[in-house]
A and B are shown apart, each in its own frame.
Chain A
Amino acid sequence: MNEMQTIDPDWAWQPFEPTSQRPWDRSLAAHLYRRSGFGADLARIDQAVMRTPAEVVSELISNNQETPDFRSTADSLAEATLAGGDPAKLSAAWVYRLLYTPNQLLEKMTLFWHGHFATGAEKVNDARMMWNQNQLLREHALGDFGRLVHQISADPAMLIYLDSAKNRKAHPNENFARELMELFCLGEGNYGETDVLELARCFTGWEIKNKKFRKNRYQHDSGIKSVLQQRGDFDGDDGVRIVLEQPATQTFIARKLYRFFVSEERSPTDALLQPLANLFRESDLQIAPVVERILGSNLFFSSNSVACRIKSPVELVMGMLRSLHATTNTQLVGRGLKNIGQGLFYPPNVKGWDGGRAWINSSTLLGRANLIADILENEATRFDGGSLSECLDRREVQTPDQAIRYFEQCLLSVPLDDATRIQIQESVESISGDTERQMRAILHALTSLPICQLA
């Protein structure tokens, strides 16, 4: 807390200028790729080092829509899953995108919004609805926050999840109105209980009929409401507009983006967030400018950010796979992620994933090591189309020591200590006749280490 107060907000969000103490090198480029997406291989990292950080960030931001080719491939695979109707299998369709997308930041932001507008497939129990919501999140992931909130307010999966599929004049349903303010836009303390009741009246008549959103004017309460100091015969769209107009909105979202991209450890002061909040409001709640400012900033590349987050399960697994051009059984990954606390389409509750230290306990730590083991042993797993040792050999990585250093550069945010390095090397000496098994054992060990759980 105290440390946070000493950070100068102006310095924090200015464009990062590399210095001799903090040069733009492999380590910082890898940091950028891990945080803005899931990770890159060493060749990509080296290309980034040849350019300026601002150029690399600007390229990440400008890739804000999928190419039509990728989209149609990913969608047709999802359609095959949807035909089965089982939402549990939908996770695998998303894993495919996480694994193959050329737009890593877009996908990372889609995951961010899924945690923000958390909706669980267990309750919605309709794969198509969940998928449509996912596409909605992706469409606006780096777009207009206001439009996203308006559309999510009429999203069938969301309204079913929050028991707001029926909302009658005589009995306004408070649930969506409350969460819109508490969890989606303003945060607790920025509204009163009366605002919840009055805002709920605005949404009366909004309902889901035959799996579609509609406004039932016979159930709409057309009387005067008083919401957040504004009075009028508001409907739901007015209600969303009034909530979005609150100054708490820009600070609330800036804080959440800070937690997602920079650090979940210490709570940033409002003063530190103010430049981001101002930018968000001045950009009419456009998301991309704020994300670009964060990813290109002094603070993002400083010791207040590097190694100051814990990898989510998706970040751990996708980081390992993407840095080695690996492909695997997407169903296995989808199930495995759920098992260690980040089921795609299965957030724990309407608040989404708590993140940070909450990812970590005895069960999930063992689960992380075990999921990596299961992936490495799965027959569908390929590295650059072949075995791990072949993949590494093409990158001139042949010995255990070279392999440890290679993985270290892609996957770790702080250098490995020598004692651990030696212990890993010694542990694979007995299997030196089998290079493939050696390399897999090294990768398994490295990804299971506490240090590899740091993002």
Chain B
Amino acid sequence: MLVSMNQSRRRFLQSSIGGAAAIGVGAAMPACFADAATAGNQEQERILVVVQLSGGNDGLNTVVPYADDHYRSARPKLAIPISDVLKLDDDTGLHPSIRGMHDLLQDGQFVAVRGVGYERPNRSHFESMDIWHTCRRKNEPRPDGWLGRFMDQQPESAGGDVPALHLGHESQPAAIASTSIRVPTVKTLAEFQLHGNDKQALRELLQTNRPVKPTQDNELLDFLQSSTTSAIAASQRVSEAAAGYRSDVTYPKTELGNKLRVVAQLIDAGLTTRVYYIQHDGFDTHAQQTETHSILLRQWSDAVTALIRDLDAHDHGKRVCVMTFSEFGRRVSENASEGTDHGAAGPMFLCGGGVKAGIVGKRPDLTDLQDGDLKHEFDFRQVYASVLQSWLGADPTAILGKDYQPLPLFG
């Protein structure tokens, strides 16, 4: 298994060296690739892929308390029929659309944590998302996010790859905002190249890291200049990295599937990037929820399962963890539009070869609600603390602001 990894790594390095030599600039191979060729231990570093379900995923219809009468009475139209539930035990099952997750659970590669939330839940999408991203309330300063603070803790990698990558069209999530590191956003690998007749001259112009004249003391211009330099550098690295990827796994032909395939390519190419961030939007199901929610869950489950299988096949399965969360769950009672309104606590999910598989947390108590919403059993920062400590090998207290009791989520 180790051989296949080394082969793919060698293939990638050969192809980029060969490519450089072919256009007559053999000696000018970017420093990062030269580093990558010698930095063997980097391969063991663990990677976190975050999948954000935006809009508020209906957790009760994802991990389903199918035998609970209160569930059926609160959801006369939306409850998942008992016969459809993918049953795990006598009272809990999974939504029928997430068979991929069900299979991962059987294979010991899936853990769901139920009842995750926080004190005084905020029901605004943006505010609640900001709380999950920054771990701070609105009245506190929040210049960065929890993953941004994780990156800040890491030793600086001279000429290395970007510490985190955001894939998507959306604006960057605050979770990866850092006061010292700028994280690039990539949509597709093909789009990540300059066009036009003069692209070579333009690349040289934009690459130049020009010191700003003291007379032009403009922070915003500094920001734009460093962003531009990092955009050009990242563009070259990323497009060369994925050139020779081969895979037998078929990813679903969805936006999420495409993004996760790119993640697999980049991981397999040996990038030292530790965090990948992907959003999957549309979970704000206020009306006609059944069909929409089912499609969204299937897209999520199929794409993440494909990624896990693909990483396994390329022998990266043991060093990648996919963490899924949403800014809140939904109201326990359905509304009159066959949908659900903004709620509070909900489940989180971790997938990959390193997790301790199972369902963590109690069955939600539908008779003990706050304003119609589920109370949380775990603070989301307990899950972050586990991921930071047990998976990424970081000090969670400094990142999360105080001590949170980690959960046994990793084997």
Could you say which residues of chain A place their CB within 8 Å of the CB of B193? Answer: 366
Using A163-B287, A454-B218 as known contacts, say yes or no to A366 and B202 having CB atoms under 8 A apart.
no
Q: B89 contacts the other chain (Cβ, under 8 Å)? A: no
Nearest CB in chain A: distance from B121 CB, A: 10
Complex interface: stretch among A20-28, A169-177, A239-247: A169-177
Q: Is the CB of A357 within 8 A of B127?
A: no
Q: Is the CB of B216 within 8 A of A414?
A: yes
Please, what's the 1-or-0 string for A136-179, where 1 marks a CB less than 8 Å from any CB in chain B?
A: 00000000000000000000000000010110101101110010
Could you say which residues of chain A place their CB within 8 Å of the CB of B341? Answer: 173-175
Residue of chain A at shortest CB distance from B335: A171
Could you say which residues of chain B place their CB within 8 Å of the CB of A168? Answer: 336
Q: Is the CB of A445 within 8 A of B336?
A: no
Q: Is the CB of B235 within 8 A of A362?
A: yes
- A419-B225 Cα distance, complex, nearest whole Å: 15
- A453-B192 Cα distance, complex, nearest whole Å: 19
Q: A68 contacts the other chain (Cβ, under 8 Å)? A: no
Please, what's the 1-or-0 string for B194-217, where 1 marks a CB less than 8 Å from any CB in chain A?
A: 111111011011101010010010
Could you say which residues of chain B place their CB within 8 Å of the CB of A441? Answer: 197-198, 201
Nearest CB in chain A: distance from B266 CB, A: 14
Residue of chain B at shortest CB distance from A373: B196
- A440-B202 Cα distance, complex, nearest whole Å: 12
Using A170-B336, A341-B171 as known contacts, say yes or no to A414 and B223 having CB atoms under 8 A apart.
no
Nearest CB in chain A: distance from B52 CB, A: 13
- A420-B199 Cα distance, complex, nearest whole Å: 16
Contacting A at CB under 8 A, from B20-50, are none
Q: A272 contacts the other chain (Cβ, under 8 Å)? A: no
Q: Is the CB of B195 within 8 A of A173?
A: no
Using A166-B336, A265-B219, A363-B187 as known contacts, say yes or no to A348 and B170 having CB atoms under 8 A apart.
yes
Could you say which residues of chain B place their CB within 8 Å of the CB of A374? Answer: 195-196
Q: B72 contacts the other chain (Cβ, under 8 Å)? A: no
Q: Is the CB of B204 within 8 A of A437?
A: no
Q: B125 contacts the other chain (Cβ, under 8 Å)? A: yes
- A159-B126 Cα distance, complex, nearest whole Å: 19
- A170-B333 Cα distance, complex, nearest whole Å: 13
Q: Is the CB of B231 within 8 A of A366?
A: yes
Q: Is the CB of A166 within 8 A of B337?
A: yes
Residue of chain B at shortest CB distance from A346: B169
Q: B116 contacts the other chain (Cβ, under 8 Å)? A: no
Could you say which residues of chain A place their CB within 8 Å of the CB of B82? Answer: none
Q: A321 contacts the other chain (Cβ, under 8 Å)? A: no
Using A173-B335, A341-B171, A373-B196 as known contacts, say yes or no to A363 and B201 having CB atoms under 8 A apart.
no
Which among A163, A354, A377, A448 is the interface contact of B171 at CB below 8 angstroms?
A354
Q: B185 contacts the other chain (Cβ, under 8 Å)? A: yes
Nearest CB in chain B: distance from A176 CB, A: 10
Residue of chain B at shortest CB distance from A418: B213
Which among A163, A417, A420 is the interface contact of B286 at CB below 8 angstroms?
A163
Nearest CB in chain B: distance from A163 CB, A: 4
Q: B227 contacts the other chain (Cβ, under 8 Å)? A: yes
Q: B319 contacts the other chain (Cβ, under 8 Å)? A: no
Using A166-B287, A363-B184 as known contacts, say yes or no to A373 and B195 having CB atoms under 8 A apart.
yes
Q: Is the CB of A360 within 8 A of B227?
A: yes
Q: A7 contacts the other chain (Cβ, under 8 Å)? A: no
Could you say which residues of chain A place their CB within 8 Å of the CB of B231? Answer: 361-363, 365-366
Q: Is the CB of A361 within 8 A of B184?
A: yes
Q: A349 contacts the other chain (Cβ, under 8 Å)? A: yes
Could you say which residues of chain A place their CB within 8 Å of the CB of B187? Answer: 363
Q: Is the CB of B205 within 8 A of A424?
A: yes
Could you say which residues of chain A place their CB within 8 Å of the CB of B158? Answer: none
Q: DSSP majority for the B interface?
A: loop
- Range of interface residues on A (Cβ < 8 Å): 35 or more
Contacting B at CB under 8 A, from A426-442, are 427-428, 437, 440-441
Could you say which residues of chain A place their CB within 8 Å of the CB of B124? Answer: 178, 182, 188
Residue of chain B at shortest CB distance from A310: B220
Using A265-B219, A364-B185 as known contacts, say yes or no to A417 and B213 having CB atoms under 8 A apart.
yes
Q: A358 contacts the other chain (Cβ, under 8 Å)? A: yes
Nearest CB in chain A: distance from B137 CB, A: 11
Q: Is the CB of B218 within 8 A of A369?
A: no
Residue of chain A at shortest CB distance from B196: A373
Contacting B at CB under 8 A, from A301-315, are 307-310
Q: Is the CB of B206 within 8 A of A193?
A: no
Q: Is the CB of A365 within 8 A of B228?
A: yes
Which among B182, B186, B221, B371 is the interface contact of A450 at CB below 8 angstroms?
B221
Which among A170, A373, A427 is the interface contact of B204 at CB below 8 angstroms?
A427
Using A163-B337, A358-B171, A376-B196 as known contacts, say yes or no to A175 and B184 having CB atoms under 8 A apart.
no
Which among A353, A419, A444 is the interface contact of B198 at CB below 8 angstroms?
A444
Q: B390 contacts the other chain (Cβ, under 8 Å)? A: no
Contacting A at CB under 8 A, from B317-352, are 335-337, 339, 341-342
- A424-B204 Cα distance, complex, nearest whole Å: 10
Which among A348, A358, A360, A369 is the interface contact of B224 at CB below 8 angstroms?
A360
Contacting A at CB under 8 A, from B223-252, are 223-225, 227-228, 230-232, 234-235
Nearest CB in chain A: distance from B12 CB, A: 21
Q: A423 contacts the other chain (Cβ, under 8 Å)? A: yes
Which among B184, B191, B198, B286 is the interface contact of A173 at CB below 8 angstroms?
B286
Q: Is the CB of A437 within 8 A of B166?
A: no
Q: A84 contacts the other chain (Cβ, under 8 Å)? A: no
Could you say which residues of chain B place their CB within 8 Å of the CB of A423? Answer: 205, 208
Residue of chain A at shortest CB distance from B371: A193
- A341-B191 Cα distance, complex, nearest whole Å: 14
Q: Is the CB of B206 within 8 A of A448?
A: yes
Q: B123 contacts the other chain (Cβ, under 8 Å)? A: yes
Please, what's the 1-or-0 string for B160-195, where 1 marks a CB less than 8 Å from any CB in chain A?
A: 000000100111100000000011111100011111
Residue of chain B at shortest CB distance from A441: B198
Nearest CB in chain B: distance from A233 CB, A: 21
Could you say which residues of chain A place their CB within 8 Å of the CB of B70? Answer: none
Q: Is the CB of B126 within 8 A of A310?
A: no
Q: Is the CB of B227 within 8 A of A361?
A: yes
Nearest CB in chain B: distance from A125 CB, A: 13
Q: B10 contacts the other chain (Cβ, under 8 Å)? A: no
Nearest CB in chain A: distance from B170 CB, A: 6
Q: Is the CB of A366 within 8 A of B286?
A: no
Q: A223 contacts the other chain (Cβ, under 8 Å)? A: no
- A189-B138 Cα distance, complex, nearest whole Å: 9
Could you say which residues of chain A place their CB within 8 Å of the CB of B195? Answer: 369-370, 373-374
Interface centre among B123, B187, B225, B230 (most CB of A within 10 A): B187
Residue of chain A at shortest CB distance from B169: A341
Which among B138, B185, B197 is the interface contact of A362 at CB below 8 angstroms?
B185
Could you say which residues of chain A place their CB within 8 Å of the CB of B219? Answer: 265
Which among A182, A307, A444 is the interface contact of B221 at CB below 8 angstroms?
A307
Report, nearest first, the 6 A-B pairs whose CB atoms are least far apart: A373-B196, A171-B336, A362-B184, A163-B286, A450-B224, A362-B231
12 of the cross-chain contacts (CB-CB < 8 Å) are A165-B287, A171-B337, A265-B220, A307-B221, A361-B185, A362-B230, A373-B196, A419-B210, A427-B204, A449-B206, A449-B228, A450-B227
**A interface with B by C-beta (< 8 Å):** 163, 165-166, 168, 170-171, 173-175, 178, 182, 188-189, 193, 265, 307-310, 339, 341, 348-351, 353-354, 357-358, 360-367, 369-370, 373-374, 376-377, 414, 417, 419-420, 423-424, 427-428, 437, 440-441, 444-445, 448-451, 453-454
19 other contacts beyond A173-B337, A423-B208, with CB at 8 A cut-off? A173-B336, A308-B218, A310-B224, A339-B169, A348-B170, A353-B171, A361-B172, A361-B227, A362-B234, A363-B191, A366-B192, A366-B194, A369-B202, A374-B195, A441-B201, A445-B198, A448-B202, A449-B228, A453-B224
